[in-house]
Structure formats: C-alpha cells, structure tokens
Chain A
Amino acid sequence: MRINQRIQALPIAFGLGLFLITGCGETADDHGGHDHGDHSHSEAEMDNDGMAVTSRQNTLTKIFHAAPSPMETASLIKRSGAHFHSDALNAANEYNRYTTSDKQAINLGIYGADLSYATIFEENSTSLDYLASIKSLSQALGVSDVLSEEVMNEVEENRNDRDVLMDIVSETFYDLNERLKFNGQEDLAGLVVASGWVEGMYLATRHLDAAPDELKQRIAEQKLVLNDVMGLCNSYEQTPALTNLLTSMQSIENAFGGVASTSNESTTNREESGSFTIGGGTTFAADDATILAIATAVESVRAACIQ
C-alpha cells in the first residue's frame, strides 16, 4: 500500500523537480535546439512587469501570423471610390440563429466586417445595430467583457463620432482575438479572422458593374491577404469547423489563381517627418473575368457562413 502511494507520488515529485530544475523555463521538450515552432508559452511565474528568470538554454524563432483587419479592408473599399450597399450586409438581427460556438465565431467575423464597413462609411446607426449583435454573440462565446456596459455607453455617447467608433471597434476585435487565444480557443479566433476576410471581400465585390478600376486593382491584391489569412488559420489547431471553412476557401484561392503578378524591386524613401514611404514591389492585375470568378467564389463561401 505504502509502495503504491510512493509510486503514485512519483509524477508529482518528478514534475516539481522538473519545474525547479528548469527554473520556470520552457518544458523539457522545448529544449531540443533552435526551434522554429510556434511556442509562446513558458512555465515561468512572471512578475507583473512581464519578465522572469529563465533557464531555457536553446534559442527559438517565434513565428507570428497576422492578417489585415476588416477595418483596413473597409477603408480600402471606401478609398477606391465605391459606395455603401446596406443590402449586402448580413442582417444584424439574425444573430440568434447561430447557436453553436463555431457558427457564433464565424458570424462574429461576418458581423465584425459588416460593422467595420458601416463605421468607415459613417453609417453610425447601422454600426450600433451590429455592435449590439456582436455583444450578444460575444456573450454566447463567453467573452462578453470585450464589450462591457462601459464600452457600450462610450459607443452611445460617441455615436456620431466616426473616429471614436473606429477606435472602439478595432480595440474590441483586438481584445476578442487576445481573449480567445488566451482561453485556448484559437480555432474560434481563426474562424473569426477567416470569415471576417470573406465578408470584407463579399462587400468589396458587390455591384462590380459600377466598381471603379481602383477597387478591382485592390481586389486583385487581396491575393496576398488571402495568403496571410490561410497562414494564420493553418497555424491554429485544426477543428472540423476550421478545416471545413479553410477547405471551402480553396475555391477562392483557385479563383485568385487568375491574378497575374509582376515582380519589381521595392523602393524606400525617407520623408522629412522621419517616416518612410515604401513603394515598388510586386504588382497584381486581374481581368474582369478573374474578378468575377473571385466574386462568385466569395459569394458561395459567404452564403455557407451565414446559413
């Protein structure tokens, strides 16, 4: 009996020993040399300033993945001279149709892009409707504090101030991304990012007959952003929902295959203000048939997302 107790206690003794030996550093498995993995965790008990003593000996290369936000896409649509199309949005009052966490995350991304689009075009009343729906979906996903009463009151007080609303929207989605990752729900964060990009593209590709040439150019360049989105989402643990969405987006990747690119050297110029201007680089071009193929593929994926 006593031997059994000792055997049962072994894992704890071993674990505590390991913890003390590593001095709160990376786990033993992470000591395998120069690591190009995606490790962001440490067993360190950090102080409040974000530092601690480590005993990790081997260096690593941390790979961050990111993608432009729906707010950037919406901004790009407006700058290209396109108009606001309220009929293209997924109705804000449909949020209660989404009852599984996967669907809620997907439509959080959809609504986030709709909200960004409405905010950029200063459709403030529409923005408030979408914020309310996003608050409900966030609550359902257990991250309701990203849109606290305090934040909602701030929105109400600044309902006619586009810049404040843009700040609130981007902070909300940053907090949401951070909270989902922190909660170990990276797959849901991936669904939000991927569906948000799909919705941004859906909004950009409506009413193409009246679309300015600059918008078509910007759509062609989204080939790079799609690459970002796929890289980001593929870095997360693959759940059936995330895999399904990424697989369905393969049709969009195929449509982007028609975009032609020409490689040029990048240029930099330093301004008097101290900032830089970066130009040159690869240029992208797509004919109307390719743009239409992209629009059709996006529409199909988006239709499945909002079901």
Chain B
Amino acid sequence: MKHTIILLLTLGLFATNADAQCRSFTKKNCLTELEGYIQNDNYNSAILIPGDEAQLMLTFLAGQEYRLLVCSHPVLGDVTYEIFDANGKRLFDSRKNEPEISYVDFNMETTQQLQVQVHVPETRSAIMHEGCVTVLVGSKS
C-alpha cells in the first residue's frame, strides 16, 4: 500500500512537472504577444501531440476589439486554427494568414458565441513529440 502511494505520488509529480513547464512556456512565449490587450482571465493550455485537436467556445462581446492567439511549441509544426460562428459557418482560417503570425485581430460588431478549432498537424517522424499549446484571448475597448 505504502509503495503504491509512493508510485502514485511519483507519477503525479511528472504530471505536475509537465503542467509547470506549460505554464512557464506560456509565460515566456505567449503572453507577450497580447501587448496592448487586456488578457482574458482563463488559462487554457494543454499538452498535445500530432493529430490532436483543441476547441474553445467563447462569447465575444459587441464593441470590443479582440486578439486571439494560438501559441504552440515549434516541435508541433504549423499548428493551424479556424473560427466558426454558432451555426458552424467558418469565419476565419489561419492557413490564409501570414505563416509567422500566430494571432488574429478582430472587432465584434455584435455579441456572438464563436468556436475556435485548433489542429496540430500529423507527423511522419518515428519519434513523436508532445508540446504545449495555449489559446489566449485579449480584448480592448
């Protein structure tokens, strides 16, 4: 029993360490991109592998300017994202954006619930890496 607890604690420590690295990654590489915007309170970060997806549903308020930032570790390749409205109509596709820009700026004329879909590309590499992906939203009036 004692050993099982030690084992669980050990495995838990690895998970905590991975989370801590994602927090550190986000602070170091992502938050600076929201310069000039008020960051949303929610911390949305996960460890993803090639082929994974992530989704974020969020209400964007009328009259606000937003910056949506999808920040990912370079080891995951060209992580792309799309924005859909509540009826599933695609409003934005990052593949049509400049490749080095990881964010999109937009103004909301009306209040809408939008869905952001993030795609981590597949890889043919024999050694597969996992990396942090963070979705951040900043706003300004």
Contacts and interface: CB of A to CB of B under 8 A. Distances in A.
A257 interface: no
B19 interface: yes
Interface in B1-44: 2-4, 6-7, 10-11, 14-26, 29, 38-44
Contacts of A276: 91-92, 104-107
B137 A66 contact: yes
B21 A177 contact: no
A27 to B, nearest CB: 8
Contacts of A127: none
Contacts of B47: 40-42, 44, 46
B91 A64 contact: no
A178 B131 CA distance: 18
B57 A231 contact: yes
B85 A281 contact: yes
A53 interface: yes
A228 B113 contact: yes
A47 B26 CA distance: 14
Contacts of B45: 40
Given A48-B21, A69-B38, A12 B7 contact: yes
Contacts of B65: 275
Contact of A266 (B48, B91, B127): B91
Nearest to B107: A277
A141 interface: no
B19 to A, nearest CB: 6
Contact of B44 (A66, A218, A277): A66
A273 B106 CA distance: 10
Contacts of B130: 25, 42, 44, 51-54, 56
Given A61-B54, A64-B135, A227-B59, A278 B109 contact: yes
Contact of B87 (A42, A225, A265): A265
Contact of B38 (A25, A170, A224): A170
A92 interface: no
Contact of B18 (A16, A52, A53, A225): A52
Interface string B78-121: 00000001110101100000000000111111111110000000
B39 A51 contact: no
Contact of A275 (B63, B91, B105): B105
A111 to B, nearest CB: 14
Nearest to B19: A182
Contact of A53 (B24, B62, B127, B135): B127
A131 B10 CA distance: 38
Contacts of A51: 73, 75-76, 129-132
A8 B3 contact: yes
A54 B129 contact: yes
Interface string A202-225: 000000000000000010010011
A91 B18 CA distance: 40
Nearest to B127: A53
B15 A15 contact: no
A171 B38 CA distance: 8
A72 interface: yes
A79 B44 contact: no
Interface of A: 8-9, 11-12, 15-16, 19, 24-25, 27, 39-56, 59-72, 75-76, 78-79, 166-167, 170-171, 173-174, 176-178, 181-182, 193, 196, 218, 221, 224-225, 227-228, 231-232, 263, 265-266, 268, 271, 273-284
Given A174-B43, A281-B86, 9 more contacts: A42-B130, A49-B73, A50-B25, A51-B131, A60-B52, A62-B55, A193-B42, A277-B109, A281-B85
26 contacts: A19-B14, A25-B130, A41-B15, A46-B18, A49-B21, A50-B25, A50-B132, A62-B48, A65-B57, A69-B139, A71-B38, A170-B41, A174-B41, A177-B41, A182-B20, A224-B111, A227-B59, A266-B91, A268-B91, A268-B92, A273-B105, A275-B106, A278-B107, A278-B114, A279-B108, A282-B112
5 shortest A-B CB distances, which residue pairs? A50-B25, A279-B109, A54-B130, A50-B132, A275-B105
